[in-house]
Amino acid sequence: MNPLNERFILSNGVKIPKVGLGTWQIPNDQVVQVCLDAFEVGYRHIDSANGYQNEQGVGQAIKQSGLKRDELFITSKLPSHIKGYQVTLDSFNETMNNLQLDVLDLYLIHAPWPWSEIGKDCTQGNIDSFKAMIELYHQGRIRSIGVSNFSVKDLKAVIEATGFVPHVNQIRFYISDTQDDIVKFCQEHNILVEAYSPLATGRILSNPQLQKIAYEKGVSVAQVCVKYCLEKGTLPLPKTTKRERMIENARLDFTLSDDEVHKLDQITL
């Protein structure tokens, strides 16, 4: 299996490469070379966000790569504190100027609440932002739209108010933290779950139980973690700045048996 060449199909028929490169915490000046390396080893899917302050670098890498636009799948996100119709349109324009793109492949509401006020009820603001995104989607400026860090309650609120089911919900998902209620709801409603922090931002890599399983299979812990996300029907977004790790994280030509998946389900961090 080469997940870089395989695709999930979103509910609107748009195809999305099964593994994407995460870019959180990669500074703008560094992200250009990181993306170019990723493209060279076969990645075609980049996960960025206005909040990562590296959209300009991602855009520069796209230009420099010489790849055709339709070979690439580029995601960005509306900053978590921006809630409302017009401010969403304005922020989207800023994102597109940064990326120097005409059309974005996937645009997400980064979180249901500002990062500085986690848990705050911003239901109306999320609905208004999502309405603006639906408008941009219908205008053809975005090929698919979705949300991130949304609970089942948050999802139900936007679906009920707009009648539009998001194509994607990007959530924290890794071995030991799989947010089963959200995944179940999304899969029942044909919302693709993207697994962010599939390596628990690196914290999972020293887990002795995982190290034992990986060693016995002759693969790395990172590979087990990325493969596990795919086994669960989610789309992993591993982040690395290192070319050899990009290759490693997408070299998934091994299987996890039901027994092994069951063992992985029991692991706690």
Ligand X SMILES: NC(=O)c1ccc[n+]([C@@H]2O[C@H](COP(=O)([O-])OP(=O)(O)OC[C@H]3O[C@@H](n4cnc5c(N)ncnc54)[C@H](OP(=O)(O)O)[C@@H]3O)[C@@H](O)[C@H]2O)c1
Alpha-carbon distance 3 to 5, whole Å?
5
For residues 13 and 232, which CB has a smaller minimum distance to ligand X in the complex?
Answer: 232
From 43, 52, 137, 174, active-site residue:
52
Return phi, psi of residue 127, to 5°.
-65, -45
Alpha-carbon distance 194 to 224, whole Å?
17
For residues 35 and 222, which CB has a smaller minimum distance to ligand X in the complex?
Answer: 222
CB of 154 to ligand X, least distance (A): 13
Residues 6+ apart with CB under 8 A from 99: 48, 55, 56, 58, 59, 62, 74, 76
Residues that bind ligand X (CB under 6 A): 22-24, 47, 110-111, 148-149, 170, 196-202, 205, 220, 222, 237-242, 245, 248-249
Q: Is the dihedral of CA 131, 134, 140, 146 positive or negative?
A: positive
Q: State yes or no: is 52 an active-site residue.
A: yes
Alpha-carbon distance 261 to 124, whole Å?
39
For residues 139 and 206, which CB has a smaller minimum distance to ligand X in the complex?
Answer: 206
CB of 23 to ligand X, least distance (A): 5
CB of 237 to ligand X, least distance (A): 4
**Concatenated DSSP letters of 82-137:** --SHHHHHHHHHHHHHHHT-S-BSEEEE--SS-GGGTT---HHHHHHHHHHHHHHH
CB of 204 to ligand X, least distance (A): 8
Give residue number: closest CB to ligand X: 22
For residues 111 and 127, which CB has a smaller minimum distance to ligand X in the complex?
Answer: 111
Alpha-carbon distance 190 to 132, whole Å?
22
CB of 260 to ligand X, least distance (A): 19
For residues 127 and 237, which CB has a smaller minimum distance to ligand X in the complex?
Answer: 237
Query: Which amino acids are annotated catalytic?
Result: 52
